[in-house]
Structure 1
């Protein structure tokens, strides 16, 4: 990137429009920007950086403060830059956010941040985001990289030289775009971890599958052993299933023979069971009917008791109601006298308010009277001041007039000669001629002071008239106030305030009494409503008592009728139950006779039958278990073959990816992280390029070296710098260099890094280098060496701009941009 032409308007210390024509400085070479401290030298760099990236050249300058404080309200603030890059010209214009005068009407308005980029054969870009993205795309580097490569800003010049190794890694990572190596390392780790997780998951699923098939201890077994064990268990389970099915067949046959032998007995037994069940139902019906009758009898007793309690409750409520009514009537009589008292208090409050209004008016009059008195004093002082001023001006006028008249006599005396008569007195001798004063007023000055004296006299008369007028009004207000005081019966303002406060206190007491009376009035109205409510409640209770008595009599009679019917039904059901018991006894005798005839041990038959049924159930469960396990074993065998093949493939892949991950992480014999290795290579090449210039600038004394440490290279300490001194043959820290030596080392390091960027990263080309201050720390020889090194760059088609105010550079560099500083801002006077 090479700047061609730049316009600064209302920017930094420049109040108006300033132009910098870089094309006049030549296609290559060194130029100087010089001027007083604070004149705006660095602002030239700020303009270029802001135009390209929307930010100043240093972090201490915020873009919100770029608007010039010297600029007129109508002046626009913007930077316009025409630059060349890779054979093409581009024009970019940016404006920061600032306040300006409205184009229509008065006041100011906020002008938002804006950007515009023009390039050949493409549409203009007019949004800040589009312009920012396109500029980085054109140049191939961002703001941070530009500051490191093309803009060595004041205060940040030594940053790369003195930065910690960790910070230097971050700088190099951005400049040499090695984040891809870090991303590669991360992806290798993720891929290795993913394969390991898949292996772990596969092992878990295989263990779960074998566990479902009945294998508990599978750890430590090889895949072939697992397969053999599954197949062996499958064959054993087939044999076990056949044995269980044969045993089940024999047991079912025995159960059938036993059931046929006791069929007749069980038939009678079932009949007996049916009869017993019928009798149970009959007994249950009888018992339920008896409970029902007893329940009705209990309900009747409870109803009578409940009715008794309800009557007592209603009588108690009625008695309480009559007592409450009597008490309310008594309170109502007591509250009748409060209505008259309420009217008296309201009248007294109105009277107090009237007196308060009169006193409040009088107090306001006192306040206005005090204001009038102050006004009169102020007018009196104004009159005295104006009187003094009028006297001074009149005296000055009289003095000027007297001097003017005496001057006329002095002018006539100039023409008197010895021996010739005076035209005034006729004397021939003139020993003491009148002299003319050096400070002689003319007629115009005399007239001016006369006019001033007359104006001051007019002002004096006006002030006097205003004083007299206000004095009359003051006397009238005093008289009116005195009459009002006599009417209200007070002597002065203090007594009026005291009486006003007393009236307010009395009014508060009356208001409290009024509130109490209203409360009593409200209570009386409430009692009246309560009495009406109590009378209605009394009538309601009497009606409810009569209705309740009639309803209870009817309910009691109905319940007695139901009790009589249910008792009769209970007796009938008892008779039916007793008949069923006799039938049950007959069946039992018949069942015993049949058992003797069949010669059966009934208890043994039942026990044997239950035993056989349990055996059958157990055998069926064993058979079902074998069938299920055979299915699981078959599934496990088929699935296991697939899982084992998959596991072998995953283990091979995992071995490859894990080995790559270990290599890039630094788990290798050299313990070197992959990205650190790449950065170290770049760093060595940067130092090599920097040392070529440093050797020239220091007469071969110094060279920059990367620190060699015997420690873990996986850390970010692999880019530390030390300085090798060829005079002593020893290395020492770069911080031990002097100010001038540090400047030369930092400059060489920055230039070496720029060389490496251009050589190694495609698309990035650094055609222009800007250096802000730093040359003041160099002696004459070092300055010559630094300039020689910089001039060698210009032979490679580089343009180098230097900010400095030291005279040595002004004498050595012909191409200069000179800035002049004034009270109204700065201006570029030489371009």
Structure 2
């Protein structure tokens, strides 16, 4: 990934839109980022990391809300946009933060963009411009996560040395993220879950088998001679003993079932024989009871006979009345018809009177409209007159609109001409003021280079003094630490030596206690033991002694590390004192001299900042002057053009105005406005239309009324004829019905209605009578048959039979229950055999699986002497390759003195081991912890390690292209020779095509590298950037 253009808006110390165009570097691939503390150098790294990954580069700047500039205007949103090139493709990515504007309650303005640039087009890189999809696509294209990016490409403050000096567990996390070995941790976790699952399965099946053992005593009765229950009574037994016992129980219950079946068969036969005898006696008694009930029922039915005789007479009268019902229905129908036709005649008669009244009204309206004929003609003539003026008025109205536009245009031209004249005068006055300002600034800015050089020299001297003071303070702190650790070392050594002596003495006493005369001593071989060691002492255990030794070794290592660091620091302090004296200062007065130098530097820096601001202001004023002079020339030419245009348009306007006035005089004054004329035409047309419609409506109404009167008259006559005909037919039907009543034997219509019965009621009554007489005949025949059947028979006493039957039934039930129990026990035995056998097979299989998974889990998680897991074993291989690549550069940077090695030592207090780093010093032939290196040595080692890691990552991950590197610390700790070699190393990288940006205050670095990105604060407090190419 190579940056092309970075645009920051309201970001950190950058108030407005700040653009850093990396193409200005031209052929330079390495550049220094220089500026005062707090100017915003590290913010540039934050911006690149933020726009790519949504977070700043340092761990202490993780809150993206804090990235918004304190100088930003309320209506300006914080955003970062980066154009970059990756593997021949151009991309543009932008992230814009939301913020709460004044007067609002919620944050607004959040936006994200990610596009590939192909020519003049931009193609979206993601389907949706949202954070999750953009983050995923960036990691996919760049090939690095944010953590990997700040370990390899961008090395911010506080992150640079993390890989070098961190402990094994921290390196493990870093290497896990970079080389994506977390999958092997997941394998271990998965195996742990499988191991737990296998143990749970084994325990569950074992409990299931034990539960089946317990079920035996619940489901089966204990027998004295049973081998199975004797086995279960033992404290320890195995599954096969239980299965053999169940086989024996199965044989026992099979024999019991055969005997119980024979007993059940005999009991069943005796019971069914007695049951048949009982049912036969019960049937005879039931028939005697039935005969008695039927005789009583016959007596009750014969008592109802008078009632049914009356019902027979009622049925005969209803049948006679039914024969003349049709004549009654005919009379009712004609009565209904007469009533309907009478009502219709009355309605038609009313309708006829209404139509006559409507005709009279229509005749009056017709006469009224006929009298308005002359008025209608007058309206028509008036409308024709209006329409004759319409075309002329329309033409004049259009000319009026054109004249108004022309007048407006002429007025605008005059106004524009006057405005240009006024503006020209203002610009001339502004030009004079700018000339005066430029002359005054040029005099003051001429002193800036001398002051800048003086400030640089002062800062270089202050850096040396400050470094000496820091080392001096650190020496005092470390002196206390060394003394503390020395005391701890002496105490721990005495404690361990005392415990070791006690343990050795204790071993002698233990050995002596087992020596007997005549037996050889295992140490000297003597068979006589005159002076055996004796007495009683508190002997420490071997584990306690080993623990004390580990503790002593840890304290010893810490003391030696502290002492080595102290000696290294002391050497650095002596070197720094030489530098102080070479500058002409006394070491004893460094603190006073440094404070005075800081005060002088602040004053001089303020003067330089002020002059720098004035220099920038001078450049802006000169640019403004050039633009102003060009603008004046353009406006004077514009004045001439506008004046000429005004004269042409004004002449044309006056001519058109005269023609318009002449045409206007030819039209009556009240008709000159087009809107008024159109309104008069519309009103007159409406009046004409209303009068014509009223005349046509009167003609139609009188004709329609005459037709309706004729129709109503015909309808009235027809209704009268129909009513007369219906009355005649009704009277005839009434006479015929009276004659039929008399023939049927009814004295009048009322008597007839009382005897009349509905057809369904007649059928029900007839059926009821027939049913009664049939039931009497049936009961008589049934009583006769029962007397014949029971002839020579007597009732039986059932109680004695019932007692015998119950006794046989109880014996039969007992036989059945004994058989059922034997069958159920056999069923339980066979089910238990099956369940216990299958459960035992599963227990054996799950135990086998459990052991296999447990062994594999111990291998993967590192349950070995070196406590190295499978994941860390792979990470060690990656680390070894990184060290090979890193040592190629470190040997050159350290003149062959140092080589990075992977540490084989065990970490203290049982911590994870295997990824620690040591440094081999070829000058002393000793290997020590990398933490004992000096600041400059650590920088060289860290730089070599970072470059080595970049080489290894590119070799393993072909999709990762590391074309850029940014470094934000370390060069100030190097001596002149080391600095030169570090610069040479970076220049070598530049020759491979990489772009390298370095934040540094070291003057030698600025002198050696021609390209500098200067970051300067303005007087207002916000920052600006610019490239300076030497």
What does residue 70 of structure 1 align with? Answer: 71
**For the residues of structure 2 that align with 1:763 and 1:225, how far apart are their CA atoms?**
67
**For the residues of structure 1 that align with 2:845 and 2:111, how far apart are their CA atoms?**
59
Q: CA RMSD in A?
A: 3.9
> Per the alignment, do residues 23 and 829 of structure 1 end up closer, same or farther by CA in structure 2, a change over 3 Å counting?
closer
1:110 Cα offset (Å)? 4.8
**For the residues of structure 2 that align with 1:619 and 1:227, how far apart are their CA atoms?**
30
**For the residues of structure 2 that align with 1:776 and 1:760, how far apart are their CA atoms?**
34
SS at match of 1:97: coil
**For the residues of structure 1 that align with 2:911 and 2:33, how far apart are their CA atoms?**
43
**For the residues of structure 2 that align with 1:2 and 1:765, how far apart are their CA atoms?**
9
> Per the alignment, do residues 699 and 647 of structure 1 end up closer, same or farther by CA in structure 2, a change over 3 Å counting?
same
What does residue 673 of structure 1 align with? Answer: 869
SS at match of 1:155: coil
Instruction: Give the one of 990, 998, 1008 matched to 1:812.
Output: 1008
1:814 Cα offset (Å)? 1.6
1:617 Cα offset (Å)? 8.6
Corresponding position: 1:826 with 2:1023:
yes
Instruction: Give the one of 192, 198, 202 matched to 1:199.
Output: 202
> Per the alignment, do residues 774 and 87 of structure 1 end up closer, same or farther by CA in structure 2, a change over 3 Å counting?
same
**For the residues of structure 2 that align with 1:769 and 1:136, how far apart are their CA atoms?**
17
SS at match of 1:747: helix
Matches within 5 A, 1:219-618: 227-243=243-259
1:5 Cα offset (Å)? 1.3
What does residue 162 of structure 1 align with? Answer: 165
1:28 Cα offset (Å)? 7.6
What does residue 34 of structure 2 align with? Answer: 34
Corresponding position: 1:717 with 2:913:
yes
Contact 1:213-1:629 at 8 Å conserved across structures = no
**For the residues of structure 2 that align with 1:128 and 1:66, how far apart are their CA atoms?**
17
Corresponding position: 1:115 with 2:112:
yes
What does residue 353 of structure 1 align with? Answer: none
1:803 Cα offset (Å)? 0.6
**For the residues of structure 1 that align with 2:15 and 2:866, how far apart are their CA atoms?**
61
SS at match of 2:878: helix
**For the residues of structure 1 that align with 2:866 and 2:239, how far apart are their CA atoms?**
37
Corresponding position: 1:664 with 2:680:
no
> Per the alignment, do residues 87 and 245 of structure 1 end up closer, same or farther by CA in structure 2, a change over 3 Å counting?
same
What does residue 748 of structure 1 align with? Answer: 944
> Per the alignment, do residues 617 and 692 of structure 1 end up closer, same or farther by CA in structure 2, a change over 3 Å counting?
farther
What does residue 998 of structure 2 align with? Answer: 802
1:227 Cα offset (Å)? 4.4
Corresponding position: 1:704 with 2:707:
no
1:806 Cα offset (Å)? 1.3
Matches within 5 A, 1:121-160: 121-122=123-124, 125-160=128-163
Corresponding position: 1:778 with 2:781:
no
Corresponding position: 1:186 with 2:189:
yes
SS at match of 1:667: coil
Contact 1:212-1:632 at 8 Å conserved across structures = no
> Per the alignment, do residues 204 and 108 of structure 1 end up closer, same or farther by CA in structure 2, a change over 3 Å counting?
closer
**For the residues of structure 2 that align with 1:189 and 1:748, how far apart are their CA atoms?**
39
1:203 Cα offset (Å)? 2.7
Map Cα deviations across residues 290-343 of structure 1 (whole Å, 9 max, x no partner): xxxxxxxxxxxxxxxxxxxxxxxxxxxxxxxxxxxxxxxxxxxxxxxxxxxxxx
Contact 1:672-1:714 at 8 Å conserved across structures = no
> Per the alignment, do residues 813 and 99 of structure 1 end up closer, same or farther by CA in structure 2, a change over 3 Å counting?
farther
> Per the alignment, do residues 658 and 761 of structure 1 end up closer, same or farther by CA in structure 2, a change over 3 Å counting?
farther
SS at match of 1:695: helix
Corresponding position: 1:12 with 2:209:
no
What does residue 89 of structure 2 align with? Answer: 88
**For the residues of structure 1 that align with 2:107 and 2:263, how far apart are their CA atoms?**
100
What does residue 728 of structure 2 align with? Answer: none
Corresponding position: 1:690 with 2:873:
no
**For the residues of structure 1 that align with 2:105 and 2:252, how far apart are their CA atoms?**
98
1:182 Cα offset (Å)? 0.8
**For the residues of structure 2 that align with 1:29 and 1:210, how far apart are their CA atoms?**
82
1:221 Cα offset (Å)? 5.9
> Per the alignment, do residues 7 and 670 of structure 1 end up closer, same or farther by CA in structure 2, a change over 3 Å counting?
closer
> Per the alignment, do residues 68 and 711 of structure 1 end up closer, same or farther by CA in structure 2, a change over 3 Å counting?
closer
Contact 2:8-2:47 at 8 Å conserved across structures = yes
Contact 1:27-1:799 at 8 Å conserved across structures = no
**For the residues of structure 2 that align with 1:670 and 1:724, how far apart are their CA atoms?**
22
> Per the alignment, do residues 109 and 675 of structure 1 end up closer, same or farther by CA in structure 2, a change over 3 Å counting?
closer
What does residue 533 of structure 1 align with? Answer: none
Contact 2:114-2:124 at 8 Å conserved across structures = no
Contact 1:666-1:713 at 8 Å conserved across structures = no
> Per the alignment, do residues 70 and 192 of structure 1 end up closer, same or farther by CA in structure 2, a change over 3 Å counting?
closer
> Per the alignment, do residues 668 and 779 of structure 1 end up closer, same or farther by CA in structure 2, a change over 3 Å counting?
closer
1:695 Cα offset (Å)? 1.5
Instruction: Give the one of 165, 176, 179 matched to 2:179.
Output: 176
Corresponding residue pairs, total: 480
1:686 Cα offset (Å)? 2.2
Corresponding position: 1:739 with 2:935:
yes
1:129 Cα offset (Å)? 3.0
Contact 2:33-2:998 at 8 Å conserved across structures = yes
> Per the alignment, do residues 643 and 796 of structure 1 end up closer, same or farther by CA in structure 2, a change over 3 Å counting?
farther
**For the residues of structure 2 that align with 1:669 and 1:628, how far apart are their CA atoms?**
60
What does residue 401 of structure 1 align with? Answer: none
Instruction: Give the one of 617, 620, 634 matched to 2:830.
Output: 634
**For the residues of structure 2 that align with 1:223 and 1:109, how far apart are their CA atoms?**
73
**For the residues of structure 1 that align with 2:239 and 2:817, how far apart are their CA atoms?**
32
Any stretches of 5+ residues in structure 1 without a counterpart?
A: 264-604
1:146 Cα offset (Å)? 1.3
**For the residues of structure 2 that align with 1:618 and 1:207, how far apart are their CA atoms?**
35
1:700 Cα offset (Å)? 1.4
Instruction: Give the one of 975, 983, 988 matched to 1:792.
Output: 988
1:107 Cα offset (Å)? 9.4
What does residue 3 of structure 1 align with? Answer: 3
1:53 Cα offset (Å)? 1.5
Contact 2:983-2:1005 at 8 Å conserved across structures = no
Contact 2:253-2:826 at 8 Å conserved across structures = yes
Contact 1:209-1:636 at 8 Å conserved across structures = yes
SS at match of 1:17: strand
Map Cα deviations across residues 136-190 of structure 1 (whole Å, 9 max, x no partner): 2322222222111211112332222222322222222222211100111111222
**For the residues of structure 2 that align with 1:623 and 1:211, how far apart are their CA atoms?**
25
SS at match of 1:98: coil
1:809 Cα offset (Å)? 0.5
